[in-house]
Amino acid sequence: MFKSVLYKEWIKTKWYVIGICVVSILLHAYMFMKLGRSIRFAGMVHLWDVIINKDQFIFREIKLFPLISGIVLGIAQFVPEIYQKRLKLALHLPLPSFRIISWNVLYGAITLALVYVISIAILITYIRLYFAIEFVESAFLTILPWYLAGIVSYFLVAWICLEPRWNRRIINTIISIPILCTYMITALPAAYSSCVILILSIAIVVMFFVYISVIRFKDGK
């Protein structure tokens, strides 16, 4: 049954996942070509001046990619479940409903995590070719909240979509906006280095929001 659920989710979202991967590749290619052009025309001295003296992160283009991809995958996966009445059918399968929902969100979370891990690995590897390890560490701490925002946005979209009442969906959306803004406040290098545990804790708590909507759905709200 687990494999069947994963296969169903893959069939439903595969073109969105492929699209996210293509956008990721194009975005990385653009950033790397932009950096190469800057090195050729301005030199490393200028880049270091921008990074150190002006406190700028040179890969800011990646900031919105995780957030948007998480929202897109969440919508692609859970909107059909509601409007095509698939969720009602799934919750009547001879399996615990929480297990069914867990498999669904596990598919999306793992898919996003794989894309994000590959994206981070490529970016960090490329940075290491030109910059010292200290900048690599700073870059990782800079982009970590943005990629966590992608995972969080996915779970928040699932929470909103699976909520059975429209007025509560609006309330959930209003609650979700400041949560996501917490991860997107700044693009300053390593700005979240002192609160990594906090943003990780928020992400873990948000993972369980989806079960609130499932309980309300089962109770006929």
Burial of 188 (0-12, 13-18, 19+ CB in 10 A): exposed
Distance CA 153, CA 157 (A): 6
- CB 38 within 8 Å of CB 47: yes
Q: Rounded mean pLDDT of the chain?
A: 85
127-144 residue pLDDT tens: 888 877 888 888 899 999
Split into its structural domains, the chain has a count of 1
Distance CA 108, CA 79 (A): 13
Which residues does 155 contact at the CB level (< 8 Å), separation at least 6?
A: 74, 105, 109, 206, 207, 209, 210
Nearest to 108 by CA among 221, 210, 214, 213: 210
pTM exceeds 0.75 for this model? yes
The range of the structural domain enclosing residue 101 comes to: 2-218
- Calculated CA dihedral for residues 182, 184, 24, 43, nearest 10 degrees: -140
Distance CA 48, CA 81 (A): 50
Nearest to 75 by CA among 8, 16, 5, 151: 16
10-61 residue pLDDT tens: 888 899 999 999 999 999 999 888 888 877 777 777 777 777 767 778 888 8
Distance CA 168, CA 203 (A): 21
The CA R_g of the chain, rounded to the nearest whole Å, is: 20
